Amino acid sequence: MSFQIHSSCANTSARTGTLTTAHGEIPTPIFMPVGTQGMVKTLSPDELTDVVDARIILGNTYHLYLRPGLDVIRKMGGLHKFSTWDKPILTDSGGFQVWSLAKLRKISEQGVQFANHLDGSKTMLTPELSMEIQATLGSDIAMLFDECPPYPCEEKYAANSLGLTSRWAQRCKDWHVENAAKHVPWMLGTEHAKLETHQRQLIFGIVQGSTFADLREQSAKELVSIGFDGYAIGGISVGEPEHEMIRAIDNAVPFLPTDKPRYAMGLGTPPQMLEMIARGVDMFDCVMPTRVARHGLAFTEDGPIHIKNKAFEFDARPLDETTHPSLQKYSRSFIRHLFRSREMLSLRLLSLHNLHFYLRLMAQAREHIAAGTFETFKDHFIKRYTKN
């Protein structure tokens, strides 16, 4: 068993656990910084370990397949060696990126044909190719190839899309069982069936179904019948209002196994993550902490602040009293000056701080779940965070 639950909240569905992978153990609930090109923008692997305390990062299958390409990563020994990140990596399947190329793609039973955003050339991405790319990258967790329906969409479209995703899910699982050991760097020369679960590349299913409760239930049940190492809820944070996002989670989680990790894809804000943890979600990823950092926004326990605002011109305080000790010495005034001067250091400091804030929030959630005080912590945090 690769996932072990340690404690549960008496008043919510929150739980703590450990997900064991080939490159280490991951405490849950956990947030995964996004490294689109194999590493988080402007940051080094050492900073992610020493300052952020990241336990796992996310890599982007679509972008890494196009550049630098599989030949380079294969020759360099896989994504871990290539990037020098020695902890777990999760790779998305490329499905979301293809969804974002709506005007440049054509979906069929075979897969998705799309125009390469780098040079415009036609590329066909199939479930099997997505699995092969992720196996060659050597991620600890691979995601199945799915279609992410747009928001809003008609129920008929969502149902047809769900059917396609379920058929693709079976193809992904079949390819993975038969071929992963021929491509995953640390599995080469082994037999898939003879490896312990944590010794092989894990594969997660993705629940779809848009905003329709019956389709979310159907998707979850179909994926569970195929059998995966964990289950993600996809098709959220794609433009829908927050209450629809929460409903999508509520309509999926009850039909997922309690002994497998649950992953809300593309979430989210600190309050959203705490609400999802209360609903039994274990894993999160989002570009928000680093993307908003590049626009001068910093997360604090009193809510986000825009560092370029004049209110911080003479502010000698650190970004937040909870920030990492190595960042405490930088004043809001100085970071504001750097940001207004377009100095790269401001983006790095804000990115480090925001990611540290997210990972610290996950650590706090784990501590309070174990102590039996999670619900009180969640309510107090959200009340203070949203006060202003």
Annotated binding site for substrate: 92-96, 146, 208, 235
Reply yes or no on whether 302 is catalytic.
no
The CA distance from 37 to 134, in Å, is: 14
Name, in order, each residue with C-beta under 8 angstroms of 250's C-beta and a sequence gap of 6 or more. 279
The CA distance from 324 to 40, in Å, is: 18
Q: Which of 92, 229, 282, 320 is catalytic?
A: 92
Name, in order, each residue with C-beta under 8 angstroms of 225's C-beta and a sequence gap of 6 or more. none
Cβ neighbour number for residue 309 with a 10 Å cutoff: 12
Binding region: 92-96, 146, 208, 235
- Tokens 């990241």, residue located: 54
Interhelix angle for 127-137 vs 155-179, to 10°? 50
Q: Which of 140, 229, 285, 320 is catalytic?
A: 285
- Cα-based distances in Å from 375 to 9, 140, 275: 8, 32, 10
Reply yes or no on whether 285 is catalytic.
yes
DSSP class of residue 118 equals: T
94 backbone φψ class: left, alpha, beta (φ>0; ψ -120 to 50): left
Nearest residue to 376 (alpha-carbon basis) of 265, 278, 233: 278
Show which residues are catalytic.
92, 285
